[in-house]
Structures are given as structure tokens and as C-alpha cells.
Structure 1
Amino acid sequence: MDQRAREVVALLRQLWYGLSAYRLYPGALERPGFRAAVERIARAAAPVLAAGAVDLRIGPDGFATPAGEPLPGDEDALRLAHACFERGAERLTISAPPDAQDLAAFFEVLTTPPAAVEEAGGLEAALGEGRSVRLSPVGPEPVLGADRVVGDREPGVAPERPATDLLVEDLRGSEREQAETILERLRVFAAEAPGDPPRDPDFHRRLYDAVADLPRPLRLAVNEILIDRVGDDPFAQRLIGTLSNAELSRVLVDLGSEGRDPMELARHLAAVGVRPTDVVDLTAALQAGHEDAGTIIAGLERLGLKVDELPDQRATEESLAEVLARYLVATEQDDLRAIGGMADGDEERAAALLVAEDYVVLEEDPARIRQVLEVWGEAVRTALAERRSEELAALARIADRARARGPEHAVELRAAVRRALDAALLAEVVAAPDAVALLEPLGAGAVEALLDALAEEPDRGRRALLVGLLGNLAAAHPGPVLDRLSDERWYVVRNAVSILARVGSPVALDRLAAVAHHPQPTVRREVAGALVAIGGPGAIRILRDLATDPEEEVRARAVDSLGALTDPAAAAILAEVARTDPSGALRRRAVEALGGHPAPEATALLLELASRRGRPRLRRGLRRLAASLARERGGAG
């Protein structure tokens, strides 16, 4: 690949990044982010135009020279080609460094639906006259037979990927030889697919997905061949071209486990012009263990920011953080609002969330992180109101990254969720059939907001609904519920105990042991009931204390819970209650619970209670009941 071809691809890549920036705020030419994109495009265009105007063919497989030679594979350049081709363009010319107005006209066409471009009179009418960047419906030579999806015309049937089991069927020889066989089968599949070449822009990605599904040894062997040949094999170039920089870096690091030098492979990809030098820095970051750095460049590019080429050395999280920080400062942090879901398109919202996720990992200034988290709370509210469950999952990942930075950010996140979930929105979400799925990504913050609502809810039916919802959510986030056990309001403590009963986690035992001495009998009774769901020796020890509570209603609930536990120790406590409780009704209840107890030892305990020699001796009626229950269990009485 010659130098000019590499420079042309770099310019096309910058045009794609500029299109991403324009999509965030269409028509807003004065936004700092768009102005920065214009400057980067001008810098990339300068060396290219110094050697003459750019004149390229556009087809379903990407850009090519007027002579029909394909340009080097590049994922972003291919996306730009698809955007042009879908709107009827078969030729792209750039005659001078484009200014903001020319680029805005160009990007406006590429953000307009293909049918609308046709209705406006076609490409030339949509672009206007005298532009330095031109799209033409007919290239230097027409792309014969090329189908494109424009307006109401239906696309052809997309060829499927080959089945993985067919690729690995009847393989022989070494792993290298088997990998060669798999690649040959992929070539045959591609050659026999409808069209020549296949028209589906995602066709080669599906082919690579078949490679990704191979067993690890074969996958590594195939990837090694593809990377070694990518400079002179168009098929290998197309497959590798479907990978993002982050994906490709991970492939290189995986090959490092097989003895290849990932950095040498990355430099090879950059040297042959298949990828920019960014892949070298990303590979270095991944090798150094900075996995979080793997997505930041892709996220910045999709927002219109191309990271400056770094020196060929091991990248660090700090260097990437500085790049993002400089971008946010340069744009006066206006584009932080995009993190709040204010961009119009799903793709742009996802890109903004990706940047936010990396930002909270890499930024060192707590004040700047707080600013992002404030906007994060706004995004949570919007996503909940619009029922965007996938976006909520992305927001949850940002929250996880922020929590890992320090406890102060965990507190800020919980507060942000509580602000977002005001009473009106929470009422809507709680009533939704997918309430758990919507709130689950928000973690402890959602649990706290629901607990606040539960404390103020007067309607018994809605309280039951909230308790049920909290029982589902608090299993992963019991902390806020445990905190409510020390609340001054007895009914809040009771609610917390009821929720913990649904969770059934032993983590609550120590706290429940303290609450078992709460001054309000209703709370102590709730504790006795909750311990059934937790079980174990710890629960039995607490129930032993509750079985001697001053209030009969508490002791009665403890007896019921002891009867539901399978441990023989629970049966022994029931026998003690039957002998010593001051309430005759409760002594009878304990004997009946012992009769139904699953522990085999309960039979011997019943026989002891039925005996006249037992001390203290039970009244005749209870002794007869104990004897009868023992006989039913197979004991002699």
C-alpha cells in the first residue's frame, strides 16, 4: 500500500468521525465539537490534496480508485462508503480543503434518509453547487449491477454465515493446516454467496463471527493467518476490517499467549496501513492490564474525536484520561449533556454513554466525576421514563465504574437515583409489569428510593406491592435494607425485616439478633417470622430468645417458626416451650408443632412430654396429646 492510499484512508476516517460529531447536533456548526472535527479533517486533507484532488469510486464493498483498485480495508471508511452508496452515490470527489459549510452540506445529505434524498431531487440537488466535497450518482465507470437500499426498494436476501460445525467437519493435519482448510471453506462460501461480491455490507462480519465461534486453538490459528496475510490478501483484509480497534487489540493479545509478540503484530498492521497507530497503543494498554482503556478510543471516535497518535510506547490509563480531559475542556464540557441522553439517535446516545463509562474510570478529579454523575442521574430519569432498558444497563455499567473509584461516588450515585425516582415516576415504574427489569440495573439507589416510598405509602395494597418488588431487588443489594433496621420509626424497621424475610440471606442474622430486642412487639414478631426464611443455627439461637419474649404474640410466632425448621435443636426448644410457657394455649401449640416437626428426634421428645415422670410434668390433656402424636409418628406410647 502506498503512502497516498494510507493518507486517503486517514482522510475518509476523519470524515466519518466528523459525521459522528455532526449527528449529535445537526446544523449546529458553531459547537466546539464540530469545529474541532472540521480542523481535524482539514489537517488530514492537506497532505492528500497537495498531490492532487481526491477522486474515488463508491461501491457496496467500499471505496476504490478510478482504476478500480480497492482502498485498504478500514471499518470507519467502509461505513462512510455505505452511507454514501445507500443514497445513490457512486463517486466522491474532494477538490479543496472543505470548510464547515461544505462539510455540513455533505453530512446533512448523509444524515438524510435515502428516500428523502431522492425526493429532494437527488444528490446534486441536495448538496448544492460549488462544494469542495461532491457526491455523484455515477462514478468514473458505473458500478454495474450494484444494488442499494434506497427509498422503498427492498434489499436482497442477505447471505447467512456458514455453520461452525461445517467449518470444523472432517479436519486433518496440524492446527495450522486445519486453519488453512477453514479459511478455504470460508472463501468458497463467500464466492458462492448471492452476488459477486456479496452485496450485504455486514457479510464479512458474519463470516468473521463464524471464526470467533471456533474452538480457541483453531480460532487463534485462523486469526494468526489472517493477520500475517492482511497486507496482500483482500479476503483477509475484509475479515480483519470488520473488527473494531479494541476487538483487534484483544485478538493480538490472545495471540501473545501462543508465543507471538502482540506489539510486533500491531506494528505490522499499522505499517501495512490496515489500521492506524492507535491499535499499537491499545494493544500496549491491554498488555499492561489496562482493560478499561480498550473502549475509550472507539467511544471518542464515535463522538467525532480522533485521538492524536501517541508515541510508540506502552500506553497508560493516564495518557488516555488526559486525551479525554482535553477534549471535554476544549468543548467547554457542552458535550457532557449528550451523556444525559439528549442526543436524538440511539447510536449517538450509546456513544455518549460509552465515553462516560470510560471517563469515570480514568478521570482523577473528583469534582469532574461528580459533574458527570449529575448528568448521569438525568439520563437515568429519561431512560426510566422512556422505558429504555438497554440504556439503563449501560448506565448501570457507568455506575459500577464510578463505585469502584471510591465510596464517596457510591453515595453520590445512590443520591442521584433517589433524585431521579421522584414520587410520580416511581409510581409509574412500580406499576409496570417489567418494574424489576427496569429498576434492577440501578442497584442500591433504586432500593433506597423504593424504601423511601414504602415508608410514606398509606395504602396497604401498594405497600405489599413495594415489599414484593424490594424482595426481588434487595437480594443483590441488601445494604440499604439493613441500614433501615436502625431507623427510629418502628414501622420502617418492620418493613425492612419483612423484606429481609423475602431475601432470606444469612448476612442479616447479626442485625436481626439486635432487632429481636426492639421495644415494639410488632417488630419482634416480624423478626420471628423472618427467621424461617434464613434458617440455620444462628436463626434458631434468636428464636430461642424470642420463644421467651414477654409478649405472647411474639412467642406464638416463634413457635410457628421453630416448627417450620428442620434442625433437631428447633424441636428441643419446642419441647421446652411446651413444659414452661405460662400460656396453656401456647404450650398446646408447641406440642402440636412438635408433632409435625420433620426431625426424627421429635418423636422421643413427645414421648418424654407424655410421660408422668417428665419434669416439669405436663397436664393430663397435653400428655395425652403428646402420646397420640408420638404414636402417629411411630413411637410407642
Structure 2
Amino acid sequence: MDAGHGVSGAHALLRQLARGLSAYRLYPGDLTQPAFQGAVERIRDAAGTALGAGPAEALVRAGRFHVDDHEVIDEAADRLAEACFSRRVEYVRIDRPPTVDELDAFYEVLGRDPEDVTEAGGVAALLDARGVGSITALAGAPETDAVDGDHDESDPEAALPVLALLPGDTASSVYDRLRGAQETLDEVVSARSSFYRRAAGLVAGLDEQQQAAFGSLVLDRMQTDAFAERYAGHLADPEIAELLARAARFRGVEPVEVAVEFVRISARQQTLVAVVRDFVSGDTLDGAPDGSRIAHAAADLRDAFPSDAADGRRLALLALADYLRCDVSSEQLERVVGAVTRQLRAAVGDGDGEVVRELLDTLDAARPDVDSECQDLLAAPRHHALTPHVLRKTMRARRAGSEGPAEVLRPFGTAAIDALVAALASDERSDRRVIATLAALARDRPRILGRHIDHERWHVVRDLAKVLVSIGGPATAAPLVALAGHDHPTVRHEALHGLTKLPPADSAAALARAVPVMRTRAEQRDGLDALAACDAPQTPALLRDLASSRGSHALPWLMRRRARRLARRSERP
């Protein structure tokens, strides 16, 4: 790449790829959502600029991209670099603008747990299996010809010394021996992650006290010793969290304080502090210093919440509630919201209404404490969790102990109504399950259906009329009267049927309003007959009003005569 134009072009491309990852994480697998489609267009534009001088290449070191020996300092690009780094990717190359399917595969792989990626053979193997040809992501940078001449390409670790623990080894002796090996080896070999992974394996053989002392040595020398800097830089976040926690224990200080200092002197992101906090509250509590306020608080939580699934979920919800109130960037919040959306989809599909209510309540409780932009992000899961696939799954769920679809969807409020109406719009055939669920959700407030009554698709309005008929009661009279004058005859038929199912007094009053707006004489005749059949005291008076020629909605002469005749009959004892 051109040193000037190429670096800036690659930087811009990496930034857009990172933003595409953020959009994808919100709604994984949904390639039609506008945010992701916009990201795809921006990636194509950036690729057109960056790839003009050849492939865009970047190394990944300690969770940050490096292009042509220049560190890419960009918060958005750092998120993509961290996702790659935690999955052992050290080299990324983009040869051509990626397609939507290739981006889907790339982002899906970066969304998997790092351990799962490693077990599956690494990012490169997974991308190759998905047929991704535009993006290359390797565990090490391709060797140059000069390097290939010095080392056996089939065994990149052939030049590494055989490192093993010796009797009486301490943290200091192991550190000195590893540092000496790093200085002695060829620079290319000593820069590889494989060397530092073997070094970490050697350290893991020390006892707990010496491992803690080794971590303290690394922290002390990071700013003055190349080995310490590179050793820490090649550790993934969970590994560095363990190192920091042990070093803090060795020094008798707070692990979070050590993490904050480490972030300050390294290229790691602020989110590492949360990783350390999580690590401390988990497996390392028993050995924490007595004066550690965080350790005591975490121990109290551990004792208060026994280790079963329900209590573990409540603890996770407490942590989520606290995190949502932290001063985090919108990009960090996007990732959390994306995870919550995935959990909501799983809970809805499984018919687990309790989890749905807990997650939505947690999001709602945090909204007053954040700015308007973050409030919009916190509202997003309510509107985007109910995909057509999720709705179909929860409609068909018949698992023992699972709640009915209406109870699972009720916490979503109007978002559930909107999603179910969208489901009706996708098929002209009536879906009894969707209609029954809508009726259950709107039974106490049928007016919530009002904004969909004039839907552009007649079959949706027909089904909404069926919903109103199922609900019944005086509150459904007004929308049914409006539908009695709809353009489509099937809708008008459903409306008349619904009006006859109301209580007699309500039915009579509603039919009297509906007859004048009916489109055909046959419908008006049926409406008058239905009104005459209502066993209500006001029926004769309503028929006489319809028989009158006064008013702007006077009936045709034949219909007025019929109304007059029916009024006389209804007055007879």
C-alpha cells in the first residue's frame, strides 16, 4: 500500500468494518435491518478507496491494529481489533470489497466465544469453511521470503528453545530465563504469539505464590523491559485479568486499582477493568486480602445467591442494572444491548415469560439515568427482539411449564401488537394463533388496535375485525362501526357480525350508527334486520330515526320504508 494514502484508507476501512460489527451485534443474522445495510454501503465505499493501491493489511498487537508500522489509534477500530485479538488473530488482510454474506460470516465468527473458535480450528478455518475470500484473518503474519529462508516454514517454532521448569525455580529465575530467550532468538520468532503462549505455559507450572510474584514483576517492568511489555501484550483479556488479580494479591492491593493502572500504561481498553472485576468476584475470592472491599462485597453476593440457575440469573441482572447506569460510551452500550436482544429472543422462543419480564424491567429501570441517545438504545430490544422467526417459534411452543404466547409477549406492550400485526400482513390466510394472541393482549384496551384499523392490506383489517369480535364489549363498538363502511366486502361482513355479538343495548346503538355507512342495500337491509332483532328498549326509537328522511346520512327510500315497518313490528307487544 501507498504509505500516505494507503494507511489512511486502510484506517478508514478498519473503522467501517468495526462499525459494521457493532450494527451486526445489535441484531445478529438480520441482514435486512437498516443499520447493518448502511454499514455495508459504508464498508464498500471505504474499500473502494483503500484497495485502490492493493490489499489492505493490518497486524493485531495487544488489541490494537498496526498498519505499515503505524499504530491505528481509533476507538471504533480498537473494538474490531480486540475482537480479533481475543480469538488469536494477529493479521488481517482485505483483498476486495466483502459481500454481505462474507460480512455475515466474518461477524458471526467474531461473535462466537473465543474458546469455541479455538476448538473449531481458529478464525481462518471457520472463514474458509464459509467460503469467505475477501477477508483473511490469520493467527500470525505471513512470513517474508527472507524469514522463510532462515526458518522451517513447516515448523514455525523450530527455533524456540526447549523451556521447562527447573528444580528450585522462582518467579525471578523464570522471568530472567524467558527474557534471555527473547533477547537471544531471532526477532521474527520472538515476536510471535506462539513464543509467549509457551512462556505463559511455563509460568503456569509455578505454584500460586510464584505465579503472583511473576505477574508483579511483569507489571513493574512493563515500561522499561521489552519482554514484559510483549508478554502482557500477547495475553487475551481473561488471561491478563488473572495475571492482574494475582499480582494485586501478591502486593496486597485492590485488583481493580491494578487494572486501572495497567490500562493507563498499556494499549488496553477501559473494559478490561470490568473483566478484572468479574474475575475477582468469581474464582479468586478465597485468597483475596482481608482488606479488599471488593472481595468482601463479592463474597457477600456469593453467599447471598446460591449457585443455581435462577439465582445466577438474578445476580447477572443485578450486574446488568449496575452496568447500564455506568458512564459508558454508546458503542459499549450497543454491545450490551445486542446481547440483551439475543437473550430476549431466546426467552420469547422458549416461552420463558419470567426472563422476558426481568430483562425488560432492567432496561426500563435504567432509562431515566442515561442520556437521550442511550435511552433510544435501551428501547431498541423491545422493538427488535420480536422477529418473524421468534414469533413463529413462540406460537408453536408447547413445552411443559411454558407460558402462553400472550403472557410471554405482554411485557413488550405496543411493540408486541406491532409485531403481530406485521405477522398478519405477511400472509392473506388468517392465522388463528396470532388472532387469539392479539385478542388476549388487547382485551383490556382494544383501542390499542386503533392505529392499525386503516392498514393498507385488507386482509390485515379483516383479521383485526376478527380480533375485535373475539374481544367483544362496548369498547369495540366504535371501531366495528368504522369498519362497517370499509372498501372490502369481507371486512364489512366481519364488522356486521361483530356488531351483532355485542350486548343488546350496545349492539342496537352501534348498528344504528353503522347502517348509514354501509356500502350496499343488501348490507343495509341486513343491518336493519339485525337492529330489529336487538332486545333493547331503545330499538323502536332507533329504527324510527333511521326511517326519517332528515339528516345528512338519510337512507334510500326503500331502506327508510323497511326501517319504518320494522319499527312498527318492534313496538307491538
TM-score, length-scaled by structure 1: 0.36
